Structure 1
C-alpha cells in the first residue's frame, strides 16, 4: 500500500495536497488539530475545510494530532511504517506578527514540530520523500537592501541590476538579517530539513514560498494577504495597509501550482534540495494593485487606509526566481495567474461570508 501523510491537512496547502494526491495514493493521512483558530480566531478556523475534504475523498483519513507530540505522531508513523512514501509537511504558525506574542508556541510548532516529523520519518520510513513548506521570511529583511526604485503603483528592482530581473534566487543569504521571530523559527525548521537530507541521506525538499494563496484559504488580518483582502472587498470591512505607501510587492502562487511543484519533486526527488517557490514574474502585485483588482472583480469600492508603520521585517519587494526549479523540472509551469486566482477566491468566499 502507498500512503501519503499531509500535516496541516485542513489548511490551504495541506488541503490542496490532499486533493492532488488522493488519486495517486491508496491512502492519504491528514494531521491537523486546527491550531489556526487559536492563532487567528474562529473566523480563521479550518474546520469547514476539514469537513469538505473528509466528505470529498473516500481514501482520506484524518488525525486530530499535535505535530509537537512524539507520542501522537509516533503512533501514526508506526501504524503505517514503510508504506509511507511521501510526507508533505505544511503545518505551521504562519504569522510573524503573531510569533512575537507567543514565542514559545511559535517555535515549538514550527521548529520542534518539524523535528518530530523528520525523526519519525527517519525511524519508520527513511526512504520516503519529505517535503517541507518553508517561507521567503528565512531571508529576513535582506531583500530590502536591494536597489529598488519607486514607481507609480509599486516598488521595483532597478533596471540596471540585471541579476535580480527574474526575482530573488536561493543564493540570497539567510544570515546577518532581521527575520522576525516567525522567520527565525522557520529558519530552524528549514535548516533541519536540509540537515536530515545531508546527514542521513534522506530525500528532503525545502520549498521557500512567497505568498501562498488560493480559494480555500481561511484568510485573517495577520495572515493570508490576498484571501483577507478579497474578504474585505466583499464584506466592506476595513483593511489597513502597513507602510511603504501601499507599493510593497508580493508574488502570489496558487496552492495547486505549489502542490504540483511538490508532485514533480516526488517523482524525481533529490537530497537536501532548496527551491524558492512563488508566483515569480508570472503572478505578483503590490498592495495598491491588489486592491484595484479586488475592486474590479467585486464591483465594490474597498474601505481601506494606509498606516505609515510597516511590519517589522516586512519585505518592500519580493518576487521569487524559480529558475532553479524550472531547470531541474522543465515540465512544470504555472497554471493560475493572479486574476484567475482572485476570481476563484471571490466565488468561494462569497459563499462563506
Structure 2
C-alpha cells in the first residue's frame, strides 16, 4: 500500500459518494487532502458526505474546467484521484455537449495541467463498465471489446485514451479503474439520475414500492463504497502505472433478488414491476458482472463488505440522514 502520510493529495469530485469515501480513507492514512467539487445540483456532491472530516480537509467549490482554479490546486500535489464527472447515462443522451465538456474536455484539461505543472504526479482515474456495452461473454474481463451504448460511455472511452496517451507519450503516471455499481452511505437517493439503487433506498424508507423495469432478471454486481475507496488507494501504487483494471464486488445478483434483499434488510417493502421505458431500454446493457481477477492478483485487494451487510449499513445511514439528501 502506498504511504500517504503527509502527502498533499487532490480529490476531484470529492463531495460525491466515492470521492468523499476516498477523502476519508486518505485522511485516516495521514494525507493532507484537498477536495474540489462543483456541487452541481444534478450531480452527487453533498457536503454532508465529509461531516466526519470537514475540519481535516481543504474544500474548494468549483468546476474542473476552471483552469486558473485547477492550476492552483494541482501545483505541489503528489497524487490526484480523478472522480469529477457527469455519470448519468440518460443525461448524457439528453445533453451530449455537456457530457463532452465535463468528461472529455475536463479530463483533457486536467491532464494538460498535470503535464505542465506536476509531471511527477500520480493519477488514479474512475472509468465505467458502461464502455463495454452489452456483454458478449460473462464475466467481462479487460480484453472484452469496447462498444458503449450511450454518449457517456463513448466519452469515458475517450477519457481513458487521454490517460493512456499522456502516460505513453509524456510519462504521466496514471491508472484507470473501470467501476460497476457503487453504493453506500452518501449516494444520491432523490432520483435515479445516477443509480436506481439510491432511489430504491429512499422508496423503502418512505414506505413506497420499489419500481423494477421489466422482469427484473438482469444480473449485476455491486461494490460497497468503502471497498471501492480502498481499491483506489491500492491502485495508486507504482506497480499499477499505465494499467487499466476492472473493479467488481459482491454478485452477481438479479435486480429482483437485490430488491428482495433490500426489503429483508428493511424489514418489509413492496415491488412494482413496470414496463421498461423505451429511452432506458435502448441503452440498457442487460446482464453484467466483472472479472476483476487482474486487479485482485496485482494488488491483493479484496472486497470486504458482503452485499447484505452493505445494504444494512446504507439503510441505517439513510434512516438517520435522509432529509439531508433530498
TM-score (normalizing by structure 1):
0.84
1-side partners of 2:84 and 2:223: how far apart?
18
3-state DSSP class of the match of 2:94? coil
3-state DSSP class of the match of 1:133? strand
3-state DSSP class of the match of 1:343? helix
Task: Confirm whether residue 13 of structure 1 aligns to residue 10 of structure 2.
Answer: no
Figure out how many residues of one structure are paired with residues of the other and give that number.
314
Shift in Å at residue 113 of structure 1?
1.1
Task: Confirm whether residue 38 of structure 1 aligns to residue 35 of structure 2.
Answer: no
1-side partners of 2:63 and 2:193: how far apart?
22
1-side partners of 2:209 and 2:104: how far apart?
34
Structure 2 equivalent of residue 306 of structure 1: 274
Shift in Å at residue 15 of structure 1?
0.4
Structure 2 equivalent of residue 120 of structure 1: 113
More moved, 91-100 vs 177-186: 177-186
Give the superposed CA RMSD.
1.8
2-side partners of 1:334 and 1:38: how far apart?
29
Match of 1:60 among 53, 57, 61: 57
2-side partners of 1:296 and 1:239: how far apart?
13
CA contact (8 A) 1:212 1:278 kept: no
How big is each residue's C-alpha offset from its partner over 1:238-262, in whole Å with a ceiling of 9 and x where there is no partner?
543233x211111111111112112
Runs (5+) with no aligned partner, structure 2: 1-5
How big is each residue's C-alpha offset from its partner over 1:89-123, in whole Å with a ceiling of 9 and x where there is no partner?
11111111111121111111111111122122222
2-side partners of 1:326 and 1:226: how far apart?
25
Shift in Å at residue 320 of structure 1?
0.7
More moved, 98-107 vs 303-312: 303-312
Structure 2 equivalent of residue 129 of structure 1: 122
Structure 1 equivalent of residue 88 of structure 2: 95
Aligned pair in 2 of structure 1 residues 325, 45: CA closer, same or farther (>3 Å)?
closer
Shift in Å at residue 45 of structure 1?
5.5
Aligned pair in 2 of structure 1 residues 26, 323: CA closer, same or farther (>3 Å)?
closer
How big is each residue's C-alpha offset from its partner over 1:277-313, in whole Å with a ceiling of 9 and x where there is no partner?
121xx33321101110111111222252321445322
3-state DSSP class of the match of 1:186? helix
Counterpart mapping for 1:75-90 below 5 A = 75-78=72-75, 81=76, 84-90=77-83
Runs (5+) with no aligned partner, structure 1: 147-163
CA contact (8 A) 1:283 1:337 kept: no
CA contact (8 A) 1:26 1:59 kept: no
2-side partners of 1:336 and 1:88: how far apart?
22
Match of 1:241 among 195, 212, 218: 212
3-state DSSP class of the match of 1:182? helix
TM-score (normalizing by structure 2):
0.90
